[in-house]
Structure 1
């Protein structure tokens, strides 16, 4: 067999698992045999429509069986799957689609308006819609699947071939496409299996969108490789999560601190049967002590981790039994991954010394899509320079100290301040702007904009939000706008954001 890629995983598993449920969605139960057939049919249909190895297929949708079908069908052909964040504004979608050069777009009917607005002036020539068949120029997804033959396309796909392009916000304000290969995703899956002890028959509840690599790479792919069941929720709702854990006998849950907090605060928390849960993974930021203890009281232990899109996404993982003893840590390096702390010259630092976190391993990307300069800056001698500051203790546990990049993590979503600042700077009368993260009990942190304006120019939060409304995803928009007389700057003119965080962050 020529195809070594992830596109073959469901077919290989179907030979072994047959009618076992691969996906549970609403009232549907989709077995591995059925899922394999739909993937083969979709792959054939896409091939008939001209999709070839190396082509990009964009997907705009929430958690849905079609996401996994499209992912595996696209990669089965050696083409590249490009999932788009459903919270993006049309110009952001337009940038990503034009940057990757996707000619095919698959989207959900509820997002068709956004899809059309975001791809009107792009390379997209064919649109396939899930749930709607009556729009001119748009094909019905189920009809496309039915039109294909359930024959296997054994195309030469290697572990070094690109499988995904995931767009991450850039420090310059322009997103970069992180290219994840079949090998990156395969080795990340191996890391998850080893470090989280994922076995056969697991049932993972995905409450975070799969267009984020954490939900896909640490949840869906490891479970499907092991022949388990992926329970899909289209959106996060704490009560529905608790109900699903009890009714579906969920064994694994992945999320960020905010989601776990909202689950614990729900009225049904105390009465829900959580006895099936064995694995709780958490990323985005460290889990507060109060939340660790609340879950420990229910016999549940967390495996917090550190990673990013560029590491597919795992870099470190916390052994669950150490979550209290090593509280505040993001764990140890994952099994097939290496983590170091380096100084400004790239030299390794001893335990306890703070420096930049760098990561290496077969799960780490080797390039950004058509961004050779960004690639060369980020990946040096095989080590990914994360831009994050941290230290390793004597036992090799990572503690993240701060961020070199001006990135805000709000409810698990990454927000780069430069992207927001560029748009606010376009507002007439604004003479300076700095976007910073302010601590927030629910979301971890939220963006605030600190601005200076010309004399006599009125500016408030409402004005800024009106300007950003159709230009920027809502979660990136500032929750508050503060007008100041001047921004603190270094001798070279750079804004001292640490001073602003100290002043406004309390």
Structure 2
């Protein structure tokens, strides 16, 4: 095949295991032969509409087979796939479509309301029936020819534009090449030891880089089956694990916390689960212990969209010994701290990543690219870390979340970890706020466990002796919920 990129995968899998299931969703099961047939038809239809090499094809909708088909069809043509966050407003979608210069927006019925309010939409393709000038997805597939397409696509060609969450400014489109994604999949296969019989629950949204590049694509590369969830629900998650014998899943810590809080936690049949991978934020130690008591190990990964995303991984056998660590570099990745002197145990520095998974740059933003990517390929992550004597990395905090109180650096994540040790604290977040005397002091936002009664004085007293005095928050706000980004991270800018 001339296509050495992701677009060739449906054809390669269809020739080796055509009748094996590839995707399971609320709309049924697609075999690898089915997937190849539908991807080929969609690629023909898109080409007839004038789309081809280098064009940006955006998608807006939940986890459904049409998203996977659209991705592979785009890559069959050598086009660039742009999955958009389904929580965005019309104005935010407008901005990203304009920023990447999308020629086509494929969307599902759930996003029709947003699409109706776009001011400068490209050509539209509606998954659930064309209206208002949109082409009809299934109608185009039925009319398309079936002969294979083999466009030349190389590993250095752009494959994906994934917009960062934008918690610290305007979202930027990280451009990942086919090689970036393939090497990340290889890292995942090596570190998680995925098998051809894997049953992967894709529970996080596929516009999330970890859901796409760490769960869906490695599973399809290996020939397993991906079970797609259209939205997060602990009950639905338990149901799907039991019904399909799910062997592994990725989730952000809040998702794993939701499962542990569910009334079904103690009795659900989780015997099929082999691996649980958490990312997007550090997993609180109490939650790790809860899963260990259930006989389940949570592997922790650290990464970012710009690294496709995997950088560090904590293996199952080390999850207890090194609880709280993000692990060691992935097999085909290199990680170090920015300050050479920080290699000394206990010292901190910004975490840097290098390797074949690191993005080619931000779409159309050379200055932003130069600010994070050195000439020799080291990517600044914006995260502060430390390394222990065994070479295991610990993520201390975001560079921009750190605040300075009385001349001392305070990392909110350290304070949050101690707050979470309190038996009545369900969730928390700490930020720095202005103070006339100290410059900045900490403010904690705490969500108590159901039925718990907490007060500010008691919580600060709980932290006294656990943390240096300058690290203690000066105020505590009790909240019913904490704002989050679409990837499940607590949105600290919203708290500020």
CA RMSD of aligned residues (A): 2.4
Residues 472-502 of structure 1: CA distance to partner in whole angstroms, max 9, x if unpaired? Answer: xxxxxxxxxxxxxxx44899xxxx6664563
Deviation larger for 181-190 or 296-305: 296-305
| Counterpart check, 1:274 vs 2:270 | yes
Contact 2:384 2:395 in 1 (8 A): yes
CA 1:140–1:505: 2 relative to 1, 3 Å: farther
Q: Distance in 2 between matches of 1:58 and 1:443?
A: 37
- Equivalent positions of 1:58-457 (< 5 A) are 58-117=58-117, 119-122=118-121, 124=122, 126-133=123-130, 135-170=131-166, 173-343=169-339, 349-380=343-374, 381-406=376-401
- Greater shift, 283-292 or 386-395, is seen at 283-292
Secondary structure, counterpart of 2:3 in structure 1: coil
Cα 1:105–1:172, aligned 2, differ >3 Å: closer, same or farther?
same
Q: What is the deviation of 1:405?
A: 2.5
| Cα distance between partner residues in 2 of 1:16 and 1:239 | 35
Report the alpha carbon displacement of residue 376 of structure 1 after superposing the two structures with TM: 0.6
1:324 and 1:146, CA in 2 relative to 1: closer, same or farther beyond 3 A? same
Counterpart contact for 1:342–1:349, Cα < 8 Å: no
Q: Is the 8 A contact 1:204 1:223 kept in 2?
A: yes
Give, in angstroms, the shift of residue 240 of structure 1: 1.0
- Counterpart CA distance in 2 for 1:248 and 1:41 is 29
Q: Which runs of 5+ in 1 are unaligned?
A: 408-435, 451-486
What is aligned with 1:37?
37
Counterpart secondary structure, 1:269: coil
Q: CA–CA distance in 1 between the matches of 2:476 and 2:186?
A: 40
Residues 145-187 of structure 1, C-alpha deviations (whole Å, 9 max, x = no match): 2222222221111000000001114476211100011000000
Mapped partners of 1:504, 1:161: distance in 2: 51
| Separation in 1, partners of 2:207, 2:429 | 21
Q: Find the aligned partners of 2:225 and 2:176 in 1 and give their Cα distance.
A: 24
SS of residue in 2 equivalent to 1:287: coil
Supply the distance in 2 between the matched residues of 1:111 and 1:30 (Cα, whole angstroms): 23
Question: Is the 2:435–2:441 contact (alpha carbons within 8 Å) kept by the matching residues of 1?
Answer: no
> Distance in 2 between the 1:351 and 1:103 partners?
51
TM-score between both structures, scaled by the size of structure 2: 0.82
SS in 2 for 1:271: coil
Q: CA deviation at 1:136?
A: 2.4
Following TM superposition, by how much is the alpha carbon of 1:348 offset from its aligned partner in structure 2, in angstroms? 6.4
Residue number in structure 2 paired with 1:47: 47
Partner residue, 1:421 = none
Measured in 2, the distance between the counterparts of 1:489 and 1:74 equals 55
SS in 2 for 1:33: helix
Cα displacement (A) at 1:342: 1.6
Name the SS for the 1:270 alignment partner.
Answer: coil
Query: Using the alignment, how far apart are the partners of 1:242 and 1:84 within structure 2?
Result: 27
**Residues 147 and 334 (structure 1 numbering): CA distance in 2 closer, same or farther, change over 3 Å?**
same
Whether the 8 Å contact between 1:340 and 1:348 is mirrored in structure 2 is no
C-alpha separation between the residues in 2 aligned to 1:391 and 1:373?
Answer: 28
Question: Residue 286 of structure 1: CA displacement?
Answer: 2.1
- Residue matched to 1:503: 474
After superposing the two structures, state which structure 1 stretch, 64-73 or 293-302, moved more. Answer: 293-302
- CA distance in structure 2 between the aligned counterparts of 1:498 and 1:379, rounded to whole angstroms: 32
